[in-house]
Amino acid sequence: MPIRVTVWGENVHEQKNKVVAGIYPNGMHAAIADALNTDPGIVAGTAVLQDAEHGMTAERLAATDVLIWWGHAAHGDVQDDVVERVCNAVWGGMGAIFLHSAHFSKPFKRLMGAPCNLTWREAGERERIWLTSRSHPIAAGLPDHFELEHEEMYGEPFGVPDPMETVFVSWFQGGEVFRSGLTYKRGAGSVFYFRPGHETYPTYHDANVQKVIANAVKWAFNPAVRLADPNAAPNVPVDVALEPIEERGPRLHHDGEEGFR
Amino acid sequence: MPIRVTVWGENVHEQKNKVVAGIYPNGMHAAIADALNTDPGIVAGTAVLQDAEHGMTAERLAATDVLIWWGHAAHGDVQDDVVERVCNAVWGGMGAIFLHSAHFSKPFKRLMGAPCNLTWREAGERERIWLTSRSHPIAAGLPDHFELEHEEMYGEPFGVPDPMETVFVSWFQGGEVFRSGLTYKRGAGSVFYFRPGHETYPTYHDANVQKVIANAVKWAFNPAVRLADPNAAPNVPVDVALEPIEERGPRLHHDGEEGFR
Amino acid sequence: MPIRVTVWGENVHEQKNKVVAGIYPNGMHAAIADALNTDPGIVAGTAVLQDAEHGMTAERLAATDVLIWWGHAAHGDVQDDVVERVCNAVWGGMGAIFLHSAHFSKPFKRLMGAPCNLTWREAGERERIWLTSRSHPIAAGLPDHFELEHEEMYGEPFGVPDPMETVFVSWFQGGEVFRSGLTYKRGAGSVFYFRPGHETYPTYHDANVQKVIANAVKWAFNPAVRLADPNAAPNVPVDVALEPIEERGPRLHHDGEEGFR
Amino acid sequence: MPIRVTVWGENVHEQKNKVVAGIYPNGMHAAIADALNTDPGIVAGTAVLQDAEHGMTAERLAATDVLIWWGHAAHGDVQDDVVERVCNAVWGGMGAIFLHSAHFSKPFKRLMGAPCNLTWREAGERERIWLTSRSHPIAAGLPDHFELEHEEMYGEPFGVPDPMETVFVSWFQGGEVFRSGLTYKRGAGSVFYFRPGHETYPTYHDANVQKVIANAVKWAFNPAVRLADPNAAPNVPVDVALEPIEERGPRLHHDGEEGFR
C-alpha cells in the first residue's frame, strides 16, 4: 500500500505574486505533490490554508501518513486549534516534513519548543547542500553535494534544538552556512526539516530537491497504528501493579480518578 | 556573585490539604528555596501562582538566573502569556528545572514540543534512583543510587523527546521504570527535568534530592548576558554580505523589510 | 530481496556447559538464526569463533546486510584484524546488533569508544523490559512491557555514550535498572544494543525477544551500496574547487599527495 | 585552584619545516599553552611525541584536568598502550580537546568509534566559523562568526558520530562546509573537537581561536574525583541485592568470581 501524503500549502503568494504564479501555476503544494506522485510508493494530495479548517480535519489527518508543510506570509492565519490537531497527529505517529519558511510555522515551532529563528537574505544567490550523514536514507541516490543556483539565504545560528541527526548543511555564496536537513522525533512521530524552497525560485522543480522530499517521506512514514490518544496518562491501580505492593502513606487521589493536567 | 534562583510553586495543595500543609507548612516552594539557600553560591526566592502575573513579571524573570517550577493541580490556571514569557526567558538563556508533576505544566510541555505523558500510581512505594551518567555535574557528591522510601510512581513510556543526556533512571517497587533526570537545551537555555516530589511525601526534605536540585541549578546557570530578543530573525542586506555578491532574480521583500512570522 | 543476516556466536559455553547445551543444542547462534528465518523478509546464516578468521572474511561481510554478535567467555580470543574488518563493514553501511554480554565484545567497545561497563548478578531473577520510545520500529508489534522470568541482572551506570534513542529500559527484581535497547550510528552503519540473553536461560526462545531482534534487523538494514572505503579522506585540488579560488600561502603537501594518517 | 592543562604536540613539522618553525618557534604546543596561561584560571604545560612515553605517563595524566591534542604527520608513531592510557583517563573524567588534524589521531578515533574522515585542500583559503549554539559556554565572549583568512579546508561528510551539540560550522571560500566544533561525552570525560589549526598558518596566534580553546578547557573540566577504574564491572552478589531475591536457575559463575572480558 502506498504512503499517503498530504502537501499543505499556504497558497498566498501563488495567488498574489506573478513571479510565483509563473513558476508554480497550480501552486507550490501541487508541484510538490505532482513530483511525489511519480513515485509508485507514494500517493500525494494537497490541502491549503483557504480550505475549511485549512483542510486539516481530523479525518484528513487520520488518512495522512506523512504531512508536508510549506508556509510563509500567513503563519499567523493558521488557527491554533488546527495547530494542536496537527501536533497531536504527529505525536500519534504521523510523519511531518517542514519546508523552508515553515521554520516559523506554528506547528513546527510548537513541535520544536524553540524560537526556530535564523538570519536571511533574498538575493538569488548560490546554495550548495552538503551531505553530513553518509548513506542516510534521506540522501539515498543523491551525490555528496548539489547546488541550487538561485536561493534565499538562511544563516546560523538556527534556533532549533540539536537534532537527532544532521543530514545536510548548506553553503551560501554570501558567506553563511545553515544546517539544512535535520531529523527529530516527537512522540511517535518522525519530523524532518528541509531548508530549500523560496517561492520566487523554481526549487521544487529541481530533481535533487524532489528526491530529498520523496526519501524523507519514506523515512518519516511509521507503519504502526496511530495512537488513539497520544496524551493519555493512565493511572495504574495498586491492585493491578505488576509486582505485589501494598498502598502506604497518604494520598491525594481517589481510586480510578483522573490525574491533573 | 551567587546564582539567583526563583522557585515557582503552585501553592494549591499546601493550602487545601492537611497532609501537604503538615509536611510543607510554608509551602513546597519555600522548602526547596530554603534548602538551596544553605548553599553560599545560590540565592533563592519564591513566586506562586496566586501572585500578580503568577510572580513571573518581566522584571522578575530578568533577575532570575535559574527558574525551578513545581505545579500539579492547577496547570490550566497558568496564563498563556506568562507561559510565553517564561519560555522566552529560557530561550534567552535562563536555566529551567522542572520538578515531578511539572511534566504536565504548560511551560515544560511548550519547551518539549511533545505530550510529556506517562503512567502513574499513588501508593507510597519505594523509588530507587540510579545514576546513568558517571560523574555528571548534576550528580556531584551523590552515590550511584539512592532511595526514596515513599513516592508516587511514574512509569514509561515518558512522552518526551530523547534528551541530550539521561542522568538518572528510577526503579519502582511496583515494577515500573522511569527516566527521571533528563537534560535539554532550548535556545540559549539549559533545561533539566527531575522526577521526584509528590506533595504528600517529604521528598524535598531529602538530602539527596536537595543535592540534585542544587547541582542542577549550577549546571543550568548560563553566565552569558540574556539575549535581548531570542526570536530575532534579522535580514542581512546584500550590500553588507560577508562575501561580495550581486542580487539576482526576483524578490518578494523590499530592502530593510521585516520577514514574515 | 530478503535481508541477509549473519548471526555470529562465540559457541564456547554451548560446547562446555551442559545447561547451555541443553537449552541451545545447536548453539545460541543457530537458535537466533532459526527464529529469524521464520520471517520471509530475512535470510539468516551463522558464523562462529572457531571458523577460519572467525567466519568473518571480507567476502562474508560483503554478503551480510546485518550482523548479529553474541560473545561472552572468549572476547579476548577474537583477533584484532577481524575486529577492524567488522568495524569497517559497519562504517561502510552494514547494520550491527550486539546482544547481552557482547557489551564487552571487541567490536562493540571499538564502535562505542567507551568502557561499556556495568554491574551484574547471575541469580535467575525477573527482568521486565519497558518501551521508552512509542511506536519505535524496533518495538513494532510488542506491548509496552514484557517479562523474562529468569535473567542475569545488568545494572547502571552502563558505560556507553548517550544513544541516538533509548528504546527500552529494564527493571530487575533485585532493585536495578538498565538501558536495555539503544540505537547508534557509526559511519554509514546503524548499531543496536539489546540486553537480554544470558546463556543459562532460554531467552532466545522467547517470542518477544525474537520479535525485537527481527525488528532490529529491519531497522538496521541500510539498502545503500556499501561504501568502498569508509575511511577515505580525499584531497580536493585547487583547480577543481567548486568555487574559484587561488592558492595562497605556504603548503606542506605536494599536488595529488595523500594526507597523513 | 586553576585547571591543569597539558597541551600535547606532535612537534614534527616545527622541527623539519621552516615555515612552521617561523610561525611557532617554540612549537605549536608551546604557543597554545602560552595563550592559555594568560588566563588566571588555567595552568598549562606541554608534552610531545618525543618525550618518554610521549610524555603521557600515568602520573602526568593523573595531574592533567584537560588534555589538548594536536598531531598530523606522525599519528602512527603514537604507541597503542599510550593511546589506551589516554582513553582510560578520559573515561575516568579527564577532559579532552582535539585540534584540527587530530581528527585522525589514534585517541580521537578510538574515542569516536568511527572513521573520522573528511575531504581537504591546502590552499590558504578563507574560513568563516559560525556559531550554531547560542550562548554556548565554549563560545563565551565570541561573535556569531569570525574569520581565519588563511586556512586549510576540511569538508563534509565528516565521519564522526552525531555529537551531543554542534557548536560551530565552518564556511570555506572554495565552496565546502564543515562541522568544526563538536561536543561529546565518553565515560565520565567531556570531549571537544575544534577544527582550525593547520601548521603553516598562524591560527593559534588568533585571539578568537585562543578564546575558543580557553573556553573549551573550562567546559571540559570535570571537578569530580577521577574514577579509579573506569572499566570496572562489579558483581553484585545475591545476598547484598537491594531488594530481597532468591537465587534461581542454573549459573555459570561461582560466588565472587570476576566476569569475562
Q: What is the pLDDT of residues D203-244, one digit of tens each?
A: 999 999 999 999 999 999 999 999 999 999 999 999 999 999
Interface list for A 65-84 with C (CB within 8 A): none
pLDDT at C51 over 80: yes
Can you name the residues that pair with C190 across neighbouring β-strands? Answer: C185
Residue C152: the pLDDT is 97
CB contact under 8 A, B159 and A261: no
State the average pLDDT over residues D35-58: 98
Interface mutation target, options C117, C171, C191, C200, chain D, most CBs of D under 10 Å: C117
Q: What is the DSSP letter of D235?
A: B
Phi, psi of D196 (to 5 degrees): -65, 155
Q: Is D158 on the interface with A (CB under 8 A)?
A: yes
Q: State the residue for C-alpha cell 540539536.
A: A162
CA distance D179 to D157: 9
Give the contacts of B59 (CB within 8 A, at least 6 positions apart). none
CA distance B157 to B142: 26
Q: Is A165 on the interface with C (CB under 8 A)?
A: yes
Among B49, B11, B12, CA closest to B30: B11
pLDDT (tens digit per residue) in C199-219: 999 999 999 999 999 999 999
Whether the bond between A237 and the residue before it is cis, its omega within 30 degrees of 0, is no
CA distance C116 to C180: 12
Residue D42, min C-alpha distance to chain C (Å): 27
CA distance B30 to B11: 10
CB contact under 8 A, D156 and A165: no
CB contact under 8 A, A157 and D133: yes
Taking the CA of residue D166 as centre, how many other CA atoms within 13 Å lie in the half-sphere pointing to its CB? 31
Which residues on chain B are in Cβ contact (under 8 Å) with A124? Answer: 247-251
Residue D41: the pLDDT is 98
Which residues on chain D are in Cβ contact (under 8 Å) with A175? Answer: 128, 171
Residue A252: the pLDDT is 83
State the average pLDDT over residues C98-115: 98
Of A156, A162, A164, the CB nearest to D130: A156
Residue A157: the pLDDT is 98
Q: What parts of chain B have a pLDDT lower than 50?
A: none
Which residues on chain D are in Cβ contact (under 8 Å) with C185? Answer: 161-162
B228 CB burial (10 A radius; 0-12, 13-18, 19+): exposed
Q: Which residue of D has its CA nearest to B134?
A: D188
pLDDT at C236 over 90: yes
How confident is residue C253, by pLDDT bands cut at 50, 70 and 90?
confident
What class is the D3-118+180-220 domain? alpha beta
Instruction: Give the whole-number percent of chain D exceeding pLDDT 70.
Output: 98
State the average pLDDT over residues D72-88: 97
**Residues A134 and C229: beta-carbon distance below 8 Å:** no
Instruction: Give the whole-number percent of chain A exceeding pLDDT 90.
Output: 94
pLDDT at C249 over 90: no
Interface mutation target, options D173, D245, D253, D258, chain C, most CBs of C under 10 Å: D245
Q: Which residue of C has its CA nearest to A128?
A: C242
> For chain C, what is the mean pLDDT?
96
Residue C27's alpha-carbon distances to A145, B180, C13, C18, D100, in angstroms, are 47, 39, 9, 12, 47
Of A241, A250, A260, the CB nearest to B175: A241
Residue A90, min C-alpha distance to chain C (Å): 12
Whether the bond between C157 and the residue before it is cis, its omega within 30 degrees of 0, is yes
Tell me the Cα Rg of chain A: 21
CA distance C103 to C113: 12
State the average pLDDT over residues C101-128: 98
How confident is residue C256, by pLDDT bands cut at 50, 70 and 90?
low
Residue D260: the pLDDT is 80
State the average pLDDT over residues C228-238: 95
Look up residue D186 and give its three cell numbers: 565518553
CB contact under 8 A, C242 and A128: yes
State the average pLDDT over residues D76-96: 98
Interface list for B 172-201 with A (CB within 8 A): 173-176, 184-187, 198-201
Interface list for C 124-153 with B (CB within 8 A): 128, 130-134, 144
pLDDT (tens digit per residue) in D129-157: 999 999 999 999 999 999 999 999 999 99
Which CATH number is associated with domain C3-116+181-220? 3.40.50.880
Whether the bond between C2 and the residue before it is cis, its omega within 30 degrees of 0, is no
Residue D159, min C-alpha distance to chain A (Å): 8
Q: What parts of chain A have a pLDDT lower than 50?
A: none
How confident is residue D255, by pLDDT bands cut at 50, 70 and 90?
low
Which residues on chain C are in Cβ contact (under 8 Å) with B117? Answer: none
Interface list for A 29-68 with B (CB within 8 A): none
How confident is residue D105, by pLDDT bands cut at 50, 70 and 90?
very high
CA distance A149 to A138: 22
Q: Which residue of A has its CA nearest to C227?
A: A135
Which residues on chain D are in Cβ contact (under 8 Å) with B227? Answer: 134-135
Phi, psi of A243 (to 5 degrees): -115, 140
Residue B236: the pLDDT is 95
**Residues B73 and B12: beta-carbon distance below 8 Å:** yes
CA distance B82 to C6: 57
CB contact under 8 A, A171 and D162: no
